[in-house]
Amino acid sequence: MEQGFRFHGSRLRIMARYTRLEVVGMMQKTGMVPLFYHSDIELGKKVLKACYDAGARLMEFTARGDFAFEVFSELNKYSLKELPGMIMGVGSITDAAAASLYMQMGANFVVTPSLREDIAIVCNRRKVLWSPGCGSLTEINKAEELGCELIKLFPGSTYGPGFVKAIKGPQPWTSIMPTGGVSTEKSNLKAWFDAGVTCVGMGSKLISKDILEGKDFEGLQKKVAETLKLIETIRREK
């Protein structure tokens, strides 16, 4: 269900098009959220298109560079116009002001490196999915008390699949997305999904520096498609 997308005169007003439940549902369905940042808008469009054509329906734009909000705004407008069903979100958000800014530009989900109650409040007010970085059962419990639907485990390489399995024992209702330490290799993905993750976030292991420098968008499309298929197979074999 689209929450807000309308023309006002000649200007386009953008709000999140998907509810938090719809977003987490797509995360559960596809099992993967690609992560990406680059200051070049045109290159970003090609990355988005390659991921979309491969079957990805989510993209976390990691807001780390100067004027990153301007890049996100242009990429989201492109996505709305050219890539129907693509759900754009933003990552590396560290305060409520930044979360509000990106939501005004249409971010459908907000990912944070740490648990921030101020971000929870502004996202919940608009029913936008927020995923805080948590590293302990206490933090996870607090996040869920604040209405979190999906926990970000970061950095995943520090905690590993064993941590997820341990959490899912007493709390099988907890949904977890590891980022950092997730690769496209079958053994790595199998370990995470066997431990019980809902989906994985994947950045440079998927959208590599070599792909970007070589502008190998055909290769990127193939890699994303293969990874999505591999995740589907691993889940089916569980």
pLDDT tens-digit map of 107-152: 999 999 999 999 999 999 999 999 999 999 999 999 999 999 999 9
223 phi and psi, to 5 degrees? -65, -40
Report if residue 175 sits inside a domain.
yes
Residue 15 scores a pLDDT above 80: no
**Which domain does 153 fall in, by range?**
5-232
- Model confidence band, residue 14 (pLDDT cutoffs 50, 70, 90): low
68-82 and 96-104 helices, crossing angle to 10°:
30
> What mean pLDDT do residues 29-34 have?
98
Report if residue 238 sits inside a domain.
no
What pLDDT shows up at residue 78?
Answer: 98
Residue 21 scores a pLDDT above 50: yes
Q: Cβ neighbours of residue 56 under 8 Å, at least 6 residues apart?
A: 30, 32, 34, 86, 224, 228
> What mean pLDDT do residues 181-189 have?
96
pLDDT tens-digit map of 56-82: 999 999 999 899 999 999 999 999 999
Strands 5-8 and 11-14, how do they pair? antiparallel
Report if residue 38 sits inside a domain.
yes
Report if residue 117 sits inside a domain.
yes
We report the CATH number of the domain holding residue 167 as 3.20.20.70
Report if residue 77 sits inside a domain.
yes
Residue 54 scores a pLDDT above 50: yes
Using DSSP, state whether 125 is helix, strand or coil. Answer: helix
> What mean pLDDT do residues 215-228 have?
98
Report if residue 237 sits inside a domain.
no
Distance CA 34, CA 221 (A): 12
Q: How many CB atoms lie within 10 A of CB 237?
A: 9
What pLDDT shows up at residue 4?
Answer: 47
Distance CA 151, CA 197 (A): 10
Report if residue 173 sits inside a domain.
yes
Overall domain count for the chain = 1
| Structure tokens given for 71 | 């890049």
Report if residue 103 sits inside a domain.
yes
Its pTM stands at: 0.92
